[in-house]
Amino acid sequence: MEAAPDPPRNLPTRHKCPACYKQFKRKNHLVEHMKISFHSVHQPKCAVCQKHCKSFESLRVHLTGPLAKENCLTVFSEKGCNHCLKIFDNPDSLSNHKEACCLSAPAPLGTTLPCAESEKKISGAVDLNNTARGPQAVAMDCEMVGGGSDETLDLCARVCLVDADENIIFHAYVQPLIPVTNYRYEITGLTEEHLKDAVPLNEVRDKILEILYNGESISRLRLDGGKARLLVGHNIKHDLDSLRMNYPDHMLRDTANYRPLMKTNLVSHSLKYLTKTYLGYDIQSGVHDPYEDSVSVMRLYKKFCRQDHHQLEEIGYQKISNGFDSYKSKELEKMSPSELYEISRSNYRCWCLDLRQNVQP
């Protein structure tokens, strides 16, 4: 007599994250995962499997790394752009896109421009009557010389500002407040002669603030920015410190600290790496040029500002606080994974939101 077959065993229920596809045995573990992952429509996402990644670096590993899923790797290798990581319908579309995505390096400004000419570079390149959607942005880069007995103090000796169209709106050689002990010629290309008739630091700072404030009051600037300009840079607070300047955090756009552009361990990439990886050209091969660096950070900002995110979140100035705070644990455990995703919020402000009018802190 044959033995009766064993009854089928019920497999344990697995709770799957709808964003990164991690699975959990218990629902409360999924809830805790969603709370600390800050998944949202603004995270970098694989166009093949729709998996969310914390940064573009982790997305690149997902698409091309040694543990990449076969389907994602195959599709991306045939139809994907190595710079922006987008995937296109056919090779022709990809080819046309690459012509616009892979840029050529801007012509460096050089170090032969005397300070008298620098003042003439203060132009009206930023259109005060511009009615384009969102606030206007200005990119800035400073070149540092060394100060102090050990030559380690960073002193701003040259500064350049460009607008969104890559026009120079301000350029000057800067006279530091303390003596220069190392001109760092191999990096800056500067000598004592360049700073002989340089503009005093206080005058440079006042002129830059005039450009940034754009006639706006301090109170309005701190509230929502008003008509003041966004300031874009790489490690921009270091540049501001060297100029002894303050500017509100919500008006800064920093390519060094923007989470999607950082390493997976939240360490900053160099501007040289970001430019080569996402724009397709080399910078800082020899002497660092402030115009070249300013244009590069502006191009990075514009590229990631224009990402097409489906705005499922409540937006004015995006809520940074997580949506889970409004619910009790029991309520969250009763929600489906998709409902949990809908109330999840990013823990950074996506640059795509700058296309909207107000920039509130």
**92 bridge partner residues:** none
Read off the pLDDT of each residue in 189-209 and give the average, rounded to a whole number: 94
Chain segment 94-118, per-residue pLDDT in tens: 989 988 899 999 988 887 655 444 4
CA distance 156 to 146: 9
Calculate the average pLDDT of the chain: 86
Chain segment 218-230, per-residue pLDDT in tens: 888 888 888 999 9
Q: What is the pLDDT of residue 112?
A: 64
Using pLDDT thresholds of 50, 70 and 90, give the confidence band for residue 322. Answer: low
Chain segment 85-100, per-residue pLDDT in tens: 999 998 889 989 988 8
Using pLDDT thresholds of 50, 70 and 90, give the confidence band for residue 132. Answer: very low
Chain segment 333-351, per-residue pLDDT in tens: 999 999 999 999 999 999 9
Percent of the chain surpassing pLDDT 90: 68
83 to each of 42, 110, 284, how far by Cα in Å? Answer: 18, 28, 19
Yes or no: say if 139 and 162 are a contact pair by the CB < 8 Å rule.
yes
Q: What is the pLDDT of residue 325?
A: 85
Q: What is the pLDDT of residue 307?
A: 86
Chain segment 8-29, per-residue pLDDT in tens: 666 577 899 999 999 999 999 9
Q: What is the pLDDT of residue 168?
A: 95
User: Whole-model pTM above 0.85?
Assistant: yes
Contacts of 40 (CB under 8 A, 6+ apart): 313, 344, 345, 346
**230-233 vs 252-254, strand pairing mode:** parallel
Using pLDDT thresholds of 50, 70 and 90, give the confidence band for residue 123. Answer: very low
If you ran DSSP here, which 8-state letter would residue 298 be given? H
Helix H or strand E segment including 133: none
Q: What is the pLDDT of residue 134?
A: 52
Query: For residue 132, which amino acid is it?
Result: A
Q: Is the pLDDT of residue 324 over 90?
A: no
Q: What is the pLDDT of residue 313?
A: 45
Least confident of 177-186, 301-310, 312-321: 312-321
Yes or no: say if 94 and 318 are a contact pair by the CB < 8 Å rule.
no
Contacts of 149 (CB under 8 A, 6+ apart): 181
Q: What is the pLDDT of residue 311?
A: 55
Chain segment 133-162, per-residue pLDDT in tens: 456 999 999 999 999 999 999 999 999 999
| Domains, in order of start, for the chain | 15-101+312-355 (no CATH), 115-305 (3.30.420.10)
Q: What backbone torsions phi and psi does residue 11 show, to the nearest 5 degrees?
A: -70, 145
Q: What is the pLDDT of residue 314?
A: 43
Q: What is the pLDDT of residue 117?
A: 43
Q: Is the pLDDT of residue 126 over 70?
A: no
Q: Is the pLDDT of residue 264 over 70?
A: yes
Yes or no: say if 270 and 61 are a contact pair by the CB < 8 Å rule.
no
Q: Is the pLDDT of residue 277 over 70?
A: yes
